Chain A
Amino acid sequence: MFFCGQQPLNMFFLRVWVSASKQAVSRKLSVESVLTGCSRAASGLAADKEPLKKAKTPQGRFDVPEEKSKDVLEKFPDNINPVTKEKGGPRGPEPTRYGDWERRGRCVDF
């Protein structure tokens, strides 16, 4: 069957396979969530007094807002260079101030 090389047939098989697997996954998820809900209700009032402690797994990490990583070259307010009034120009000091095009200590053109 693979000798025919006709696009629609291959596409049909692929689509059928993809949709079948998608249905299987979504069914599995819905079953899981129902089960968790049941167990929480069953544990009783005592458990509701203290907040649930989540381990610092990758899932738990996103609950705490990450501090913004500081970049050495800061963005100008509104992206406009206050001295030259250039909009959308390079961040940080003027790249051509030493005669070559400098960026973060590297020379990229001269």
Chain B
Amino acid sequence: MASVRAASRLLSRRAISNIKAVPAAAVQNSRNFHFSIYGKKNNAKVSDDISTQYPVVDHEFDAVVVGAGGAGLRAAFGLSEAGFNTACVTKLFPTRSHTVAAQGGINAALGNMEDDDWRWHFYDTVKGSDWLGDQDAIHYMTEQAPAAVVELENFGMPFSRTEDGKIYQRAFGGQSLKYGKGGQAHRCCCVADRTGHSLLHTLYGRSLRYDTSYFVEYFALDLLMEDGQCKGVIALCMEDGSIHRFRSQNTVIATGGYGRTYFSCTSAHTSTGDGNAMVTRAGLPCQDLEFVQFHPTGIYGAGCLITEGCRGEGGILINSEGERFMERYAPNAKDLASRDVVSRSMTIEIREGRGVGPEKDHVYLQLHHLPPQQLAARLPGISETAMIFAGVDVTKEPIPVLPTVHYNMGGIPTNYKGQVIDYTDGKDRVVPGLYACGEAACASVHGANRLGANSLLDLVVFGRACALTIASEHKPGEKLSPLKPNAGEESVANMDKLRFANGSLRTSEIRLNMQKTMQNHAAVFRTGSVLKEGCDKMDDIYQTLDQIKTFDRGIVWNTDLVESLELQNLMLNAVQTIHSAEQRKESRGAHAREDFKVRVDEFDYSKPLQGQEKKPFEQHWRKHTLSYVDRKTGKVTLKYRPVIDRSLDEEDCAHVPPAIRSY
């Protein structure tokens, strides 16, 4: 069947190359649509309701999933399995999504190495989130974890095994037994050293069993919202420049994180927060965007992280003066201080002008003072890594490093079922027709800080949760609610404006400005003055988007246009991140401020609660940030939403009352 499609694509492309600007009506007669599916009812129609310049194709589905990473694939085939006619719209081929880079393991309380209970996993995750995670969502995730891992294993994912043939679990990621009192727990399951890669390929292979329609290399532009209900997605086909409107009653967003707003990040170039931006443009909020997880030693330029084992084995961080600066910031622990202390120290050194390199924006990690055989024995492979990613010989030169973004805890606010919510009149209100899962969503299970090996679990559990929620509330073949014929015309107008943009600043220049500003002002080192300066700079950079200049005027595979669209998305994420960070006047989890070093909760949990007065909602910070952006002016408005403290079933699993977080 694939060859049939390939043949028709080949012939249609040759037909189209001779046609220049073509009105939509003529297109219907002269081309084969490359997505035509042999034997299936082809209900795609061409129309020129929104544009006579671009051919617009309308599709109707029962459910549309945007994004085909771990969460997107799980949601897509969960829906297909339940009988829904599902479309999966993705700008990358599914196995190229960034999930493939998640090589760590996946946590689940299977109890294969010792007696384990998912309630202890629940406690660890709530504590790790610094009590900003919604306990009902965490309850749901940790209770479903063993079933989710067993389900993956049944799909064919080759986990590593113990001698008895059970899944092997190792100690990782701040997991403990008996609510923190029983020592280290072994909960992390893995597939050799490529868990994310294997997960993605397993899910993709499994999804081919069901008849999900894949629309690969379609860039989703916007949500089609009407009367506060989401009625579908409008996307640009990158291959031939046609616009496609996917109408459906249920839309699931699983587009991943937005690491590329920062200068140094571990994410792929495609992690541009498209889902967060689509939701923002629809007038809905994003939650907790200021919580961004950093790692101190990421290679400058490449973004790969160097393990803490380097410092554990004796590696030291040095500045431009050759000084081992960690001695000043942490006299006892020195380079072995905790990650946030090391990140902040590095940033302070760079800010004070003692950075290295032509732009003085990073520091060095020195390993050449250690005996090379010891280095090769304890850290095999590090010399190849340093040579490939940094171009240095680790036995002679130091490695350039700087704090690097790794994960975004924030995203689109959802409840534990995966439905997107908005907070109006003091209550959570479900947005009909819209769901979100994966790193793009904020359920919120990670709260203020994500524990290792929990994010892959988050993907599969909430991907499945979205599919289950849709299956329980809707039926396949439901009639679609009516949609205005000109829905989506602003998105096409915006795209057209970008395609012919002729300002003074290139896309790459604006992007670099944004990345440098975010790295200097909204990274690890956050204080009032630095953040305020950053907010003003980011607002100015947002305005420079009007002066963008693109070069490629074509419509077939216009990467200049797609990069500019991605830049618009990144910019929306960046302004929300920095404004939310500036307003949050406390330190919690990954958001650490120098001027407000303590956590500000409704009670002071470091002292006994007796006799303490509860602070009103406006005066404490144990609450979620909801940020809205006015797209034309770039103005960010912030609201706050309380954290959900009740678990799903208080008798089965009592919620964890807040306490001081110390490890």
User: Given the complex, which residues of B lie within 8 Å of A104, measured CB to CB?
Assistant: 380-382, 384-385
Determine whether A47 belongs to the interface, using a CB cutoff of 8 Å to chain B: no
**Stretch among B164-172, B234-242, B325-333, B633-641 lining the A interface:** B164-172
Judge whether B306 and A106 touch: CB under 8 Å: yes
User: Given the complex, which residues of B lie within 8 Å of A89, measured CB to CB?
Assistant: 160, 168, 190, 192
User: Given the complex, which residues of A lie within 8 Å of B257, measured CB to CB?
Assistant: none
Judge whether B295 and A101 touch: CB under 8 Å: no
Q: CA–CA, A104 to B212, complex, Å?
A: 38
Judge whether A95 and B193 touch: CB under 8 Å: yes
Judge whether A101 and B104 touch: CB under 8 Å: yes
Of B3, B161, B376, B380, which one neighbours A86 at CB under 8 angstroms? B161
Q: CA–CA, A3 to B160, complex, Å?
A: 54
Q: How many residues of A contact B (CB 8 A)?
A: 36
Of B192, B307, B379, which one neighbours A88 at CB under 8 angstroms? B192
Determine whether B105 belongs to the interface, using a CB cutoff of 8 Å to chain A: yes
Q: How far is the CB of A95 from chain B (nearest CB, A)?
A: 6
Of B8, B306, B339, B453, which one neighbours A109 at CB under 8 angstroms? B453
Judge whether A72 and B7 touch: CB under 8 Å: no
Judge whether A102 and B307 touch: CB under 8 Å: yes
**Stretch among B61-69, B308-316, B430-438, B614-622 lining the A interface:** B308-316
User: In chain B between 14 and 38, which residues have their CB closer than 8 angstroms to a CB of chain A?
Assistant: 14-15, 29-30, 32, 38
User: Given the complex, which residues of B lie within 8 Å of A3, measured CB to CB?
Assistant: 29-30
Also in contact, A96 and B171, with CB within 8 A (given A7-B4, A87-B162, A102-B307): yes
Determine whether B158 belongs to the interface, using a CB cutoff of 8 Å to chain A: yes
Q: How far is the CB of A9 from chain B (nearest CB, A)?
A: 10
Also in contact, A100 and B380, with CB within 8 A (given A86-B161, A88-B160, A110-B452): no
User: Given the complex, which residues of A lie within 8 Å of B15, measured CB to CB?
Assistant: 2
Of B105, B312, B379, which one neighbours A101 at CB under 8 angstroms? B105
Tell me whether chain A's interface is mostly helix, strand or loop, or mixed. loop
Of A2, A99, A105, A109, which one neighbours B104 at CB under 8 angstroms? A109
Determine whether A98 belongs to the interface, using a CB cutoff of 8 Å to chain B: yes
Also in contact, A108 and B159, with CB within 8 A (given A96-B171, A101-B452): no
Determine whether A85 belongs to the interface, using a CB cutoff of 8 Å to chain B: yes
Report how many A-B pairs have Cβ atoms within 8 Å.
133
User: Given the complex, which residues of A lie within 8 Å of B14, measured CB to CB?
Assistant: 2
Judge whether B380 and A73 touch: CB under 8 Å: yes
Judge whether A101 and B103 touch: CB under 8 Å: yes
User: Given the complex, which residues of B lie within 8 Å of A10, measured CB to CB?
Assistant: 7-8, 11
The number of chain B residues touching the other chain, given as a range, is 35 or more
Q: Which of A73, A102, A110 has the most CB of B within 10 A?
A: A110
Judge whether A96 and B172 touch: CB under 8 Å: yes
Of A86, A88, A97, A110, which one neighbours B158 at CB under 8 angstroms? A88
User: In chain A between 68 and 106, which residues have their CB closer than 8 angstroms to a CB of chain B?
Assistant: 72-73, 84-106
Determine whether B650 belongs to the interface, using a CB cutoff of 8 Å to chain A: no
Q: How far is the CB of B182 from chain A (nearest CB, A)?
A: 19
Q: Which of A100, A103, A109 has the most CB of B within 10 A?
A: A109
Q: CA–CA, A73 to B173, complex, Å?
A: 24
Judge whether A14 and B384 touch: CB under 8 Å: no
Determine whether A16 belongs to the interface, using a CB cutoff of 8 Å to chain B: no
User: In chain B between 97 and 130, which residues have their CB closer than 8 angstroms to a CB of chain A?
Assistant: 101-105
Q: CA–CA, A5 to B38, complex, Å?
A: 12
User: Given the complex, which residues of B lie within 8 Å of A94, measured CB to CB?
Assistant: 170
Judge whether B382 and A105 touch: CB under 8 Å: yes
Q: CA–CA, A58 to B341, complex, Å?
A: 55
Judge whether B295 and A107 touch: CB under 8 Å: yes
For residue B172, which residue of chain A has the nearest CB?
Answer: A96
Determine whether A11 belongs to the interface, using a CB cutoff of 8 Å to chain B: yes
User: Given the complex, which residues of A lie within 8 Å of B30, measured CB to CB?
Assistant: 2-3
Q: CA–CA, A108 to B103, complex, Å?
A: 6
For residue B375, which residue of chain A has the nearest CB?
Answer: A105
User: In chain A between 1 and 46, which residues have their CB closer than 8 angstroms to a CB of chain B?
Assistant: 2-3, 5, 7, 10-11, 14
Also in contact, A72 and B384, with CB within 8 A (given A98-B309, A106-B305, A110-B452): yes
Determine whether B321 belongs to the interface, using a CB cutoff of 8 Å to chain A: no
For residue B312, which residue of chain A has the nearest CB?
Answer: A98
For residue A88, which residue of chain B has the nearest CB?
Answer: B160
Judge whether B305 and A107 touch: CB under 8 Å: yes
Q: CA–CA, A53 to B386, complex, Å?
A: 42
For residue A14, which residue of chain B has the nearest CB?
Answer: B7
Q: How far is the CB of B225 from chain A (nearest CB, A)?
A: 34
Q: How far is the CB of A107 from chain B (nearest CB, A)?
A: 4
User: Given the complex, which residues of B lie within 8 Å of A105, measured CB to CB?
Assistant: 306-307, 309-310, 379, 381-386
Of A11, A91, A100, which one neighbours B193 at CB under 8 angstroms? A91
Judge whether A93 and B339 touch: CB under 8 Å: no
For residue A94, which residue of chain B has the nearest CB?
Answer: B170
User: Given the complex, which residues of B lie within 8 Å of A107, measured CB to CB?
Assistant: 295, 297, 305-308
Q: Which residues of B contact A (CB under 8 A)?
A: 3-4, 7-8, 10-11, 14-15, 29-30, 32, 38, 101-105, 158-163, 168, 170-173, 188, 190-193, 295, 297, 304-310, 312, 339, 376, 378-386, 406, 452-453
8 nearest A-B residue pairs (beta carbon): A109-B104, A104-B381, A105-B382, A98-B309, A102-B307, A89-B160, A90-B193, A107-B305
Residue contacts A-B, CB under 8 angstroms, 5 given: A5-B8, A7-B38, A96-B188, A105-B382, A110-B339
Q: A89-B192, A109-B105 are in contact. List 13 more A-B contacts (CB 8 A).
A: A2-B11, A11-B4, A11-B7, A88-B160, A89-B168, A89-B190, A90-B192, A92-B380, A95-B193, A97-B309, A101-B105, A104-B385, A110-B308
